Amino acid sequence: MREIDRITGERFGVPSLTLMENAGSAVAEFALSTYPSAKTFGVICGKGNNGGDGFVAGRKLHEAGREVELLLLAEPAELRGDAA
């Protein structure tokens, strides 16, 4: 995924933060459409950019009025890249 993200940025000029925002938004939309009556969602995030996707998904779910339990599988100081 890291390589695909890098190439997408280089070839098409799509910033990493835009990719992260789009991926997280898509996850949140899927979760909300698949589980429309769910009041709480759990999001598990690592320390890389895929974890950043999870942060976006959590934010979007929260903005949709859902409770979000987010588990970060690292110390916050370990976050790197745009996930930080």
Q: CA neighbours within 13 Å on the CB side: how many for 53?
A: 17
Crossing angle between the packed helical segments 49-63 and 16-34, to the nearest 10 degrees: 50
Whether the predicted model's global pTM rises above the 0.85 cut:
yes
Are 59 and 30 within 8 A, CB to CB?
Answer: no
pLDDT tens string 6-60:
888 899 999 989 999 999 999 999 999 999 999 999 999 999 888 999 999 999 9
Three-state DSSP at 66 gives: coil
Angle at 70 between CA 66 and CA 76, to 5 degrees: 140
